[in-house]
Amino acid sequence: MTQADTRKSWIASANGHPDFPLQNLPLGVFSTAGGTPRGGVAIGEHIFDLKVAADAGLFTGEAKHAAAAASGASLNAFFALGAGPRRALREQLQAMLAEGSEHQVALEVMGDSLLPLQIDCQLQLPAQVGDYTDFYVGIHHANNVGRLFRPDNPLLPNYKHVPIGYHGRASTVVASGCEVRRPNGQTLAPGAEAPSFGPSKRLDYELELGIWIGQGNAMGDAIAIGAAEQHVAGYCLLNDWSARDVQAWEYQPLGPFLAKNFATSVSPWVVTAEALAPFRKAQPARPEGDPQPLPYLMDANDQAHGAFDIQLEVLLLTPAMRKHGSAPVRLALSNTQNMYWTVAQMVAHHSVGGCKLQPGDLFGSGTLSGPQPDAFGSLLESTFGGKQPIELPGGEQRTFLQDGDEVIFRAWCEREGYPRIGFGECRGVILPAR
Amino acid sequence: MTQADTRKSWIASANGHPDFPLQNLPLGVFSTAGGTPRGGVAIGEHIFDLKVAADAGLFTGEAKHAAAAASGASLNAFFALGAGPRRALREQLQAMLAEGSEHQVALEVMGDSLLPLQIDCQLQLPAQVGDYTDFYVGIHHANNVGRLFRPDNPLLPNYKHVPIGYHGRASTVVASGCEVRRPNGQTLAPGAEAPSFGPSKRLDYELELGIWIGQGNAMGDAIAIGAAEQHVAGYCLLNDWSARDVQAWEYQPLGPFLAKNFATSVSPWVVTAEALAPFRKAQPARPEGDPQPLPYLMDANDQAHGAFDIQLEVLLLTPAMRKHGSAPVRLALSNTQNMYWTVAQMVAHHSVGGCKLQPGDLFGSGTLSGPQPDAFGSLLESTFGGKQPIELPGGEQRTFLQDGDEVIFRAWCEREGYPRIGFGECRGVILPAR
The CATH number linked to A106 is 2.30.30.230
Q: Using an 8 Å CB-CB cutoff, list chain A residues near B141.
A: none
Cross-chain CB nearest to A172 (options B158, B291, B356)? B356
3-state secondary structure B183-226: CEEEECCCCCCCCEEEECCCEECCEEEEEEECCCCCCCCCCCHH
Return the number of other C-beta atoms located less than 10 Å from residue A77's C-beta: 18
Distance from CA of B222 to the nearest CA of A (A): 9
The answer to whether residue B297 is domain-embedded is yes
Taking residues A250-254, what's their average pLDDT?
Answer: 93
pLDDT range class, residue A256, cuts 50, 70, 90 = very high
Same domain membership, residue B295 and residue B183: yes
Q: Using an 8 Å CB-CB cutoff, list chain A residues near B144.
A: none
Same domain membership, residue A199 and residue A156: yes
Same domain membership, residue B170 and residue B40: no
Same domain membership, residue A154 and residue A21: no
- pLDDT confidence of residue B105: 72
Per-residue pLDDT reduced to its tens digit, B204-229: 999 999 999 999 999 999 999 999 99
Candidates A167, A310, A286, A168; CA nearest to A234 is: A310
- Complex confidence, ipTM: 0.96
Return the number of other C-beta atoms located less than 10 Å from residue B226's C-beta: 14
- pLDDT confidence of residue B115: 85
Is B197's CB within 8 Å of A295's CB? yes
Is B294's CB within 8 Å of A352's CB? no
DSSP structure class, residue B300: H
Choice among A17, A46, A140, A141 that is catalytic: A141
- pLDDT confidence of residue B327: 97
Does B428 touch chain A if contact means CB atoms closer than 8 Å? no
Is B246's CB within 8 Å of A162's CB? no
pLDDT at A315 over 60: yes
Binding residues of A for substrate: 136, 150, 247, 251, 367
Cross-chain CB nearest to B166 (options A222, A254, A354)? A254
Residue in chain A closest to B219 (alpha carbons) equals: A172
Residue in chain A closest to B430 (alpha carbons) equals: A220
Does A361 touch chain B if contact means CB atoms closer than 8 Å? yes
Least confident of A8-22, B147-161, B382-396: B147-161
Domain boundary among B69, B89, B124: B124
Domain boundary among A124, A152, A186: A124
Is B258's CB within 8 Å of A169's CB? no
Is B296's CB within 8 Å of A194's CB? no
Contact B263, B241 (CB under 8 A): yes
Taking residues B170-199, what's their average pLDDT?
Answer: 97
Distance from CA of A138 to the nearest CA of B (A): 14
Contact A140, A380 (CB under 8 A): no
Cross-chain CB nearest to A250 (options B162, B174, B263)? B162
pLDDT at B93 over 70: yes
Same domain membership, residue B151 and residue B114: no
Same domain membership, residue A299 and residue A190: yes
Residue A27, strand partner residues: A41, A270
pLDDT range class, residue B1, cuts 50, 70, 90 = very low
**A172: domain CATH number?**
3.90.850.10
Is A353's CB within 8 Å of B197's CB? no
Is A164's CB within 8 Å of B254's CB? yes
Is B355's CB within 8 Å of A169's CB? yes
The answer to whether residue A6 is domain-embedded is no
Choice among B141, B231, B349, B350 that is catalytic: B141
The answer to whether residue B95 is domain-embedded is yes
Does B269 touch chain A if contact means CB atoms closer than 8 Å? no
Is B262's CB within 8 Å of A221's CB? no
Angstrom distance (rounded) from CA A346 to CA A283: 14
Share of chain B above pLDDT 90, in %: 90
Does A355 touch chain B if contact means CB atoms closer than 8 Å? yes
Taking residues A231-240, what's their average pLDDT?
Answer: 98
Give the 3-state secondary structure of residue B83. Answer: helix
pLDDT at B33 over 90: no
Which is it for the CA torsion B231, B235, B236, B238, positive or negative? positive
Taking residues B343-365, what's their average pLDDT?
Answer: 98
pLDDT at A1 over 70: no
Distance from CA of A168 to the nearest CA of B (A): 6
Contact B161, A186 (CB under 8 A): yes
- Residue B197: partners with Cβ closer than 8 Å, 6 or more residues away: A294, A295, A296, B184, B185, B186, B187
**C-alpha separations of B367 from A235, A357, B142, B171, B333 in Å:** 37, 26, 8, 21, 12
Per-residue pLDDT reduced to its tens digit, A216-225: 999 999 999 9
Domain that holds residue B20: 12-124
- pLDDT confidence of residue A114: 84
Backbone angles phi, psi at A303, to 5 degrees: -60, -40
Average model confidence (pLDDT) for chain B? 95
Does B201 touch chain A if contact means CB atoms closer than 8 Å? no
Domain boundary among A90, A124, A158: A124
Same domain membership, residue B63 and residue B144: no
Interface of A with B in 25-84 (CB under 8 A): none
The answer to whether residue B86 is domain-embedded is yes
The answer to whether residue B39 is domain-embedded is yes
Does A181 touch chain B if contact means CB atoms closer than 8 Å? yes
Same domain membership, residue A260 and residue A111: no
Check if A17 is active-site.
no
Distance from CA of B421 to the nearest CA of A (A): 33
Interface residue of B162, B167, B290 to substitute, partner A, most A CBs within 10 Å: B167
- pLDDT confidence of residue B110: 66
The answer to whether residue A2 is domain-embedded is no
Q: Using an 8 Å CB-CB cutoff, list chain B residues near A246.
A: 353
Same domain membership, residue A100 and residue A54: yes
- Residue B372: partners with Cβ closer than 8 Å, 6 or more residues away: none
- Number of domains comprising chain B: 2
Does A263 touch chain B if contact means CB atoms closer than 8 Å? yes
Q: How many CB pairs under 8 A join A and B?
A: 195
Angstrom distance (rounded) from CA A131 to CA A362: 6
Q: Using an 8 Å CB-CB cutoff, list chain B residues near A243.
A: 353
Amino acid at residue number A45: E
Q: Using an 8 Å CB-CB cutoff, list chain A residues near B352.
A: 183-185, 258
Per-residue pLDDT reduced to its tens digit, B377-432: 999 999 999 999 999 999 999 999 999 999 999 999 999 999 999 999 999 999 99
Is B136's CB within 8 Å of A254's CB? yes
pLDDT range class, residue A2, cuts 50, 70, 90 = low
Q: Using an 8 Å CB-CB cutoff, list chain A residues near B171.
A: 130-131, 219, 355-358, 361
Same domain membership, residue B150 and residue B120: no
DSSP structure class, residue B271: B
Same domain membership, residue B217 and residue B335: yes
Interface of B with A in 86-145 (CB under 8 A): 130-131, 136
Is A353's CB within 8 Å of B170's CB? no
Cross-chain CB nearest to B171 (options A166, A168, A356)? A356
The answer to whether residue B368 is domain-embedded is yes
- pLDDT confidence of residue B192: 95
Cross-chain CB nearest to B167 (options A185, A257, A296)? A257
pLDDT range class, residue B109, cuts 50, 70, 90 = low
* 3-state percent helix, strand, coil for chain B, nearest multiple of 5: 25, 25, 45
Does A360 touch chain B if contact means CB atoms closer than 8 Å? no
Helix axes A61-69, A83-97, angle to 10 degrees: 100
**C-alpha separations of A184 from A143, A196, B88, B218, B294 in Å:** 28, 10, 36, 15, 13
Q: Using an 8 Å CB-CB cutoff, list chain B residues near A188.
A: 158
Q: Using an 8 Å CB-CB cutoff, list chain A residues near B162.
A: 186, 195, 249-250
Same domain membership, residue B302 and residue B184: yes
Give the 3-state secondary structure of residue B50. Answer: helix
The answer to whether residue A278 is domain-embedded is yes
Interface of B with A in 214-253 (CB under 8 A): 219-222, 243, 246, 249-253
- pLDDT confidence of residue A102: 82
Does B290 touch chain A if contact means CB atoms closer than 8 Å? no
Candidates A57, A169, A383; CA nearest to B132 is: A169
Interface residue of A131, A174, A260 to substitute, partner B, most B CBs within 10 Å: A131
